[in-house]
Amino acid sequence: MLARGMLEGFRRDVPPMTFAPHTRPRDLAGVLLLLVPTLWLLWVQVGVAVDVENKALKSPHSAEALALERRVEQFGRDITLLAAFHAVPDGSGVWTEVEERGLVQVERELAGLDGVGAVERWPLESHDSRVLAVSLDAPGGDFAPVVERVEALLAAHAPATTRVSLTGLPVGEVVIAREVRAEQGRILPLVVGAFVVLLGLYYRHAGLVLAILAPPSIAIAWTGGIAALLGRELDPVSVMLQPVLITVGVAAGVHWIEAYLDELRRGMGAERAAEFAVVSLRRPASLAALTTVVGFLSLSFNSIPAVIDFGVFAALGVALTYAIAPWLTPAVLRLFARHVPAELVRRHGELTGTLGLRAAEWLGRRALAIRACAVLIALAGLALWPSLKVDNDPQTLLPKEHSFRRATARVVREIGGSDVFDVLVPGTSPLAEPAALALFAAHVLELDPVAAAAGPAQHSKGGDWLLRFLLAPSGSTQRTELFERVEAQAAALGAPDVRVTGVAVQVARDSDRLVRSALLGTLASLGVLFALFWAGFRSLRYAWLAMIPNALPCIIVYALLAVLGRPLSVATAMISSVLLGLIVDDTIHLLHRYRELRREGLDGLAAIERVFQHSGRAILITSVVLGLGFSVGLFGELTTTVEFCGLAAVTIAVAFLCDLLLLPAILVEVPEAEHG
């Protein structure tokens, strides 16, 4: 119903100007009334929980999840911490009786700690260190409190002459959860602050800035409150939801404010100008809203709950922004921007005329060269796509110098790895016979990146066997290939029911699945967007024209990753689907205005000049403000934040060039008959 209403809103002609009188008290009462549920929903989400175990980043119905359930039934949970104790000073310390007595005491205290199942010495020959493997017994998988108790115990009771390094996937996930909470408190204020400063520097009027930021700010409060009421928790993906929503709202708001200033320059009164600014853009805004919602909803076809939630709540936030803005934006303008300085309005008009005239003249002489360059860039970008690699390691979410990554590196130097994976051999399998099991385990130990055996084979009461192996540092792609080789080798030996399992297996395969699903979602959203453009513009050629400046940034950004040798991660794989919902806005406004001018009888170049005068400034402002606004995300701590914001800024810059250079260079060749 929402999509159909938006599309109908795009298709309907703008009605005659029939405005009911408004008064400041009425606007003020409406704004205050809207603030009541907004403040309540803000209060609801205060202190929202963090997904400490990162359950939302794991597929609940995958083969790996089912294998892990069987592993838990037969052998308990796969939650192992590795604690390395290094005699100080580093590099020259010696393990003595003093350190040994202290470690024995720590072992006893760990073994008696609530939630710890077993504590074992890791086989290690070293003159200055020892390593403990601590297995947690966490009912329901809630290991975070136990990890925190282990951390506290080690901090308080580790031998004073040692330095402790604690690592393992469970520790990493707890650390990441803490950083997610801190990141949310850093990034949104940075992005909003950047928008306030940049918009303030350009418009120099607080009322205009408020009119831009008010609708998305309220939509963010409502979306976050609804998510909290539904029991959603913060995770490394959802932490980017609020910055994305404020960005979408700013992009839409700038177009409305520019239309408002246009009407003031033409001599229209503030109240009528505020209404007309929204009404005149209803058609392109409706299609922009619909395409943005569809772009985000394409993420809901992913198998990872965190990505699905991001897509659904982002779509909800966009829908709320566009639903609130047609009433709230005029109300804020009438309340706080009725008296825009005449100098600002005049300067606004001068910039408009200069931009349109010079840009159109320059473009008319270089249209063919621009089109040729775009084709070459697109072909080169597509040629680079096959060299893209998919890789995702949870540790890489953290900065390189993070204490957890340093602790992990120290443990790896001692024993060769920090993560453990299992091979589950059913009791009915031919490999369940001890001799065959030993030969199979020896074969697995020869594979890369297996570092060592992680203890003896375990035998359950149900008859299943469990082999445990230590993983050397490696990314999800290398680990996924290893797991496939292990299962393929078992199948070749007549045991196709043997499965690799454990948290490391689930994380690696889910990461790989998430990235590939995100890419497929991008292709699917491009197809749906094309259909919406076709229906909205009622022209097949205009649908293709609208796709060009939106598909090319995706090609270029992924080609850039290939050139830089950066693998696709969770953040970088999602960027195209997320940004597609944002960059289509400028394209729609530009094409909508251009088509109207051609219907009025202007030739191609004259229409482009007028488009630059009418919409070019808004596109320039949104691109600069959004690009710089996202750039402040480079000051984030999580790699997902830095990569996402950096690529978002690049994508916006490329889309800006496509909208103001490539698309007009193509439009000058579109026959006039296409504009009727």
The DSSP-derived string for 171-210 is HHHHHHHHHHHHHHHHHHHHHHHHHHHHHHHHH--HHHHH
Q: What angle do CA 188, 190, 196 make, to 5 degrees?
A: 100
Most confident of the ranges 496-500, 516-520, 546-550: 496-500
The confidence band for 342, taking pLDDT boundaries of 50, 70 and 90, is confident
Q: 244: left (phi > 0), else alpha (psi -120 to 50), else beta?
A: alpha
629 compared with 570, residue with greater pLDDT: 629
Q: What is the pLDDT of residue 3?
A: 46
How far lies 428's CA from each of 72, 431, 463, in Å?
Answer: 18, 8, 8
Q: Rounded mean pLDDT of 594-617?
A: 80
> Comparing 1-46+204-340 with 409-508, is the CATH topology the same?
no
Percentage above 90 pLDDT, the chain:
25
Q: What CATH number has the domain spanning 1-46+204-340?
A: 1.20.1640.10
Across 353-374, average pLDDT: 74
Four-way CATH pick for 409-508: 1.10.3470, 1.10.600, 3.30.70, 3.40.50: 3.30.70
Q: Give the span between the Cα atoms of 46 and 299, in whole angstroms.
A: 27
Distance CA 307, CA 266 (A): 46
pLDDT, position 140 = 61
Residue 8: the pLDDT is 44
Name the pTM for this structure: 0.80
pLDDT at residue 317 in the model: 94
| Domain positions in the chain | 1-46+204-340, 77-167, 353-387+539-676, 409-508
Residue 112: count of CB within 10 angstroms of its CB: 10
Q: Please, which pLDDT band fits residue 356 given cuts at 50, 70 and 90?
A: low
Q: List, in sequence order, every residue forming a beta bridge with 458; answer none if it has no partner.
A: 466
**Cβ-Cβ contacts under 8 Å for 218 (sequence gap 6 or more):** 34, 38, 320, 324, 328
The 10s digit of each residue's pLDDT in 302-313 is 777 888 898 899
Predicted confidence band at 670 (pLDDT cuts at 50, 70, 90)? low
pLDDT for 354 beyond 90: no
Least confident residue range of 120-134, 456-470, 520-534: 520-534
Q: Which fold has domain 353-387+539-676?
A: Multidrug efflux transporter AcrB transmembrane fold (1.20.1640)
Give yes or no for a contact between 51 and 236, defined as CB atoms under 8 angstroms apart: no
For the domain made up of 77-167, the CATH class stated in words is alpha beta
pLDDT for position 273? 87
DSSP assignment of 487-537, as one string? HHHHHHTT-TT-EEESHHHHHHHHHHHHHHHHHHHHHHHHHHHHHHHHHHH
Give the per-residue pLDDT at 130.
92
Tens digits of per-residue pLDDT, 291-302?
888 878 877 777
Mean pLDDT for 79-83 is: 87
Mean pLDDT along residues 620-641: 81
Residues 520 and 510: their CA atoms lie apart, in Å, by 15
Residue 236: CA count within 13 A, CB half-sphere: 34
644 against 131, higher pLDDT: 131
Helices in 565-603 by DSSP H: which ranges? 570-599
Query: What DSSP character marks residue 650?
Result: H
pLDDT tens, position by position, 244-290: 889 888 888 888 898 888 888 888 888 888 888 888 888 888 888 88
Q: Which helix (H) or strand (E) holds 238?
A: none
Does 596 have pLDDT greater than 90? no
Within a 10 A sphere around the Cβ of 430, how many other Cβ atoms? Answer: 15
